[in-house]
Amino acid sequence: MEERVNQSQKILNAACKCISSKGYANVSLRDIAEEAGVVLSQLNYYFGNKEGLFTEVIKMMMNKYLSEINKALNIGETARDKMASLANFFKEMLKNNPGLFRLLYDLTGLAMWSSSFNHLLKNLFDELSNIIEEKILIKGNLKNNLKDYSSRSIARMILGAMLGTAIQAILDPDKEEISDALNAVQVVFTEIV
């Protein structure tokens, strides 16, 4: 049983690596099998088909994001501290693991056309918004001009601003002001809580 888990994990890791470096549209199951050092039939054995494999890749990515953001938002006491931790998380991920962002963006595009992937990615964004709402917004009080909006809406706006800025950094990593933009997002949102 342990060998089965190790082999399937090896395939998942290879799939993540291939997709984050080449993109979903440019990766074949053969590429993934080659990267994992397994025969092509093992991908079907462990995951059934390409959709089954990619479903597991999305689940693995979701667990990584949720765990990492949760950990980052456990740093600090105040809403301001936690907002700084969130911005730092995005900056560190862009610097040290841009492949995870590429994977997220590629699979999000795929989810636009696949109902099974769509469901998984909607859950990821819901969970990320929940974490931001619980760890940052519940600790702070929304300023007067935002009191008419739910903390859930504000959490989604924070997540969207961070992810939108991160995609710009992935597309143009040489622009230094993009890192400054993450700092600006942090400042803007710490002013509202």
Residue 9 and residue 72: Cα distance in Å, rounded? 25
- Asked whether 19 and 107 are in contact (CB, 8 A), the reply is yes
- b (16+ CB within 10 A) / e for 70-105: eebbeebeebbebbbbbbbbbbebbeeeeebbbbbb
CATH of 1-48, one of 1.10.10.60, 3.40.630.10, 3.40.50.620, 3.30.365.10: 1.10.10.60
Structural domain boundaries in the chain: 1-48, 55-190
**Burial bucket for residue 42 (CB in 10 Å: 0-12, 13-18, 19+):** middle
pLDDT tier for residue 140 given thresholds of 50, 70 and 90: low
Summarised one tens digit per residue, pLDDT across range 88-134 is 999 888 888 888 888 888 888 888 998 888 999 999 999 999 999 99
3-class SS of residue 143: coil
Predicted local distance difference test score (pLDDT) of residue 186 = 80
* Cβ partners under 8 Å of residue 103, min gap 6: 16, 19, 20, 57, 61
pLDDT, mean of residues 169-187 = 79
Give pLDDT, residue 187. Answer: 79
State the Rg of the chain over Cα.
18
Q: How far apart are CA 35 and CA 70, in angstroms?
A: 31
If you average pLDDT over every residue of the chain, what do you get?
A: 86
Is 60 exceeded by the pLDDT of residue 1?
no
The tokens for 41 are: 């039939």
Instruction: Using pLDDT thresholds of 50, 70 and 90, give the confidence band for residue 143.
Output: low
φ/ψ of residue 122, rounded to 5: -60, -40
| CB 16 within 8 Å of CB 60 | yes
Cβ atoms of 112 and 55 closer than 8 Å? no
C-alpha pair distances (Å), 45 with each of 10, 30, 38, 39, 61:
14, 14, 11, 10, 21
8 A C-beta contact, residue 189 and residue 83: yes
How is domain 55-190 classified at the architecture level of CATH? Orthogonal Bundle (1.10)
